[in-house]
């Protein structure tokens, strides 16, 4: 089975995660895909296949005779798609566009258009077969494309009797909410190093990510009748606006690129009595990351001095660290990826991720883990798409990597 055929099946399984829970997986529906993959891996000939109580899927492809002592490589992808509140991941209806002509693509009946003017990567895909959404949901190639490519590569390695060392495979829940690697059992995985298959461009090798934190800011107001409010009312919604105004306006996601970090206001709610702002804070540089958190603490302190103690409560939750802190000491693993790409006809490019992967937490936990592409683009929205030919290319890259 080709990778894209697997992808079309997997994206129709609803697996979106949720932010508002501490359990893992955050949604029971992620088990639906876990158990499908468990059965498929057993049928393909994987050994030690299991799904644990947190929906992690484990399995291994044993080394060919004589290569048992080679280092064990792990290939990792995630089960979940972004929370439905961000953009729906249920009732996905993938569109197959054969021999793409390079022009705009109509996404179902939504009126949305996937256009090379807006998304220039499409120009390089002329002549490819594309998989798109129908405009109403995400596609789910992030990261079901990674799952599809890993399983297809392993299937072909076994079918073609290619010589290889031990290959460990793991599919994780809740990557999209920053929990994907937290409960991954490294002893059970048994790998010496790993690669996540969770990026975009097939030529990219990522070993730098953001440092990341989630910040919740709660504002406590005083609500009285507006006709008798003078010197009494304290409007929590206006306090929230004042807090946001204290942050540097030029350092928002829509105004930054490359190695530039940001403060990203992702949601706001409330009224006069209570209000809440939710942010994500990102920076590649550890010192600048700490400075960003300090700026937010200072803004809260300033408002509390103006309006009274505990008017503003700020909570910071660390999410992941820049995996370059570890991988700069393991450049030989990055070089393995470079070699696998070159063997597939690609010239590798080292690009910092303006986000994170399971590899961020895994590297911090002691398992060096760069990230590879899937061939997809425009993740996390209705314009998500992927090239069938690029998926096939990534299967070749993974085979080269596992059989190096």
What is the Cα–Cα distance from 236 to 275, expressed in whole angstroms? 5
Q: Looking at residue 63, what DSSP letter applies?
A: P
Q: Is 80 a catalytic residue?
A: yes
What is the Cα–Cα distance from 241 to 310, expressed in whole angstroms? 17
Q: How many CA atoms lie within 13 A of 210 on its CB side?
A: 23
Query: Contact, 331 vs 363, CB < 8 A?
Result: no
- Give strand pairing partners of 132: 95, 385
Going from the C-alpha of 54 to that of each of 14, 78, 173, the distances in angstroms are: 17, 13, 8
Going from the C-alpha of 47 to that of each of 36, 38, 41, 184, 189, the distances in angstroms are: 16, 11, 8, 18, 12
Going from the C-alpha of 251 to that of each of 65, 190, 205, 268, 351, the distances in angstroms are: 55, 41, 26, 18, 21
Q: Three-state SS for 326?
A: helix
What is the Cα–Cα distance from 108 to 246, expressed in whole angstroms? 42
Q: Is 22 a catalytic residue?
A: no
What is the Cα–Cα distance from 16 to 299, expressed in whole angstroms? 34
Residue of 175, 201, 204, 358 with catalytic role: 175
Residue of 80, 134, 198, 201 with catalytic role: 80
Q: Which residues are catalytic?
A: 80, 175
């Amino acid at each position: 089975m080709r990778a894209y055929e697997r992808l079309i099946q997997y994206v129709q399984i609803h697996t979106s995660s949720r932010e508002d829970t501490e359990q893992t997986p955050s949604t029971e529906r992620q088990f639906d895909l876990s158990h499908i993959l468990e059965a498929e891996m057993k049928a393909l000939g994987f050994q030690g296949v299991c799904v644990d109580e947190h929906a992690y899927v484990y399995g291994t492809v044993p080394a060919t005779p004589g290569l048992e002592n080679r280092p064990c490589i792990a290939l990792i992808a995630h089960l979940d798609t972004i929370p439905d509140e961000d953009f729906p991941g249920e009732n996905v209806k993938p569109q197959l566009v054969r021999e793409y002509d390079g022009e705009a693509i109509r996404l179902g009946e939504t009126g949305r258009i996937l256009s090379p003017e807006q998304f220039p990567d499409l120009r390089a895909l002329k002549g490819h077969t594309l998989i798109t959404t129908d405009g109403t949901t995400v596609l789910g190639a992030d990261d079901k494309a990674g799952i599809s490519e890993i399983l297809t590569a392993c299937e072909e390695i076994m079918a073609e009797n290619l010589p290889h060392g031990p290959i460990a495979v793991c599919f994780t829940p809740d990557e999209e909410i920053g929990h994907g690697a937290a409960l991954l059992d490294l002893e059970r995985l048994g790998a010496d190093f790993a690669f996540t298959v969770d990026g975009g461009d097939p030529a990219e090798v990522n070993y730098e990510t953001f440092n990341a934190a989630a910040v919740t800011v709660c504002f406590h107001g005083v609500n009285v009748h507006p006709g008798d409010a003078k010197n009494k009312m304290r409007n929590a919604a206006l306090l929230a606006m004042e807090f946001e105004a204290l942050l540097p306006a030029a350092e928002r996601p829509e105004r930054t690129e490359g190695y530039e970090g940001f403060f990203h206001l992702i949601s706001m709610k409330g009224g006069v009595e209570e209000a809440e702002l939710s942010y994500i804070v990102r920076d590649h540089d550890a010192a600048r990351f700490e400075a960003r958190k300090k700026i937010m603490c200072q803004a809260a302190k300033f408002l509390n001095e103006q309006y009274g103690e505990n008017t503003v409560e700020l909570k910071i939750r660390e999410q992941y660290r820049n995996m370059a802190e570890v991988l700069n000491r393991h450049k030989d693993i990055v070089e393995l990826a470079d070699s696998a790409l070159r063997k597939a006809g690609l010239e590798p490019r080292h690009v910092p991720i303006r986000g994170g992967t399971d590899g961020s937490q895994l590297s911090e936990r002691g398992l060096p883990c760069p990230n590879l592409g899937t061939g997809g683009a425009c993740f996390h929205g209705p314009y998500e798409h992927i090239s069938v030919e690029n998926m096939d290319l990534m299967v070749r890259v993974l085979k080269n990597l596992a059989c190096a």
